[in-house]
């Protein structure tokens, strides 16, 4: 079985398991989606949603966070990991959006990735979930699963993104990256499946007996 055949199996099983998918991070608009994705680095979506539930009803525009200032933003997000660094990014990002983009979130990868605290993965999530642009955000979980399923060599997240974009139709990217995340959390866990017990792993590699070691992102 080659990688193209495995990709077809993955797509079929994921569509069967998750015919409809919800965006895990709660947001009020594209700006709050950007903030939530930024906050989710090294933090669970559940924790981010719990914290932002008390923020977004009142603060949901760049001007709101600019007026708050760094210290007040820190107090609002202090239950989230590396909150001081994230508060600084949110404050500076909000100022830049007001100064350079009329308070709007830009709609290109290039402009998004120039914002403080925004890397390619964060930009990809905003482009796909915020603007509906075909993108394939790759986090450590998708990087790990793509290796288990024989879709990439695990060289790095850049290579994994290239491989997945090559193997799957563009129309599926936005939904597929969420399906993979949900499947990994539920069935192909890092310290549970090890590449030998979930439906996708056993279908793609029926003869695999030993746990697979994956390369970190």
How far is the first Cα of the chain from the last one, in angstroms, to the nearest whole number? 25
Instruction: Give the C-alpha distances (Å, rounded to integers) separating 180 from 26, 141, 176.
Output: 19, 8, 6
Q: Which of 26, 61, 67, 121 is catalytic?
A: 121
Are residues 167 and 7 in contact, defined by beta-carbon separation less than 8 angstroms? yes
Q: Which of 139, 155, 162, 171 is catalytic?
A: 139
192 given a catalytic annotation: no
72 given a catalytic annotation: no
The residues that are catalytic are 121, 139
């Amino acid at each position: 079985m080659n990688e193209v055949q495995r990709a077809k199996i993955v797509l079929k099983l994921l569509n069967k398991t998750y015919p409809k998918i919800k965006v895990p991070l709660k947001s009020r608009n594209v700006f709050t989606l950007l903030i939530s994705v930024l906050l989710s680095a090294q933090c669970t979506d559940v924790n981010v949603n719990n914290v932002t539930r008390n923020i977004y009803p009142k603060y949901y525009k760049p001007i709101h966070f600019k007026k708050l200032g760094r210290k007040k933003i820190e107090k609002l997000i202090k239950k989230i990991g590396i909150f001081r660094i994230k508060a600084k990014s949110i404050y500076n990002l909000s100022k830049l959006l007001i100064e350079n983009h009329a308070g709007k979130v830009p709609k290109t990868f290039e402009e998004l990735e120039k914002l403080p605290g925004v890397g390619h993965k964060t930009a990809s999530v905003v482009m796909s979930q915020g603007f509906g642009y075909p993108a394939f955000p790759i986090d450590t979980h998708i990087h790990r699963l793509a290796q288990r399923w024989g879709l990439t060599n695990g060289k790095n997240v850049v290579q994994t993104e290239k491989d997945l974009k090559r193997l799957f139709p563009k129309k599926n990217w936005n939904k597929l990256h969420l399906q993979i995340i949900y499947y990994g959390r539920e069935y192909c866990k890092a310290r549970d499946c090890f590449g030998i017990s979930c439906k996708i792993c056993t279908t793609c590699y029926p003869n695999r007996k030993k746990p697979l070691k994956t390369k970190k992102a």
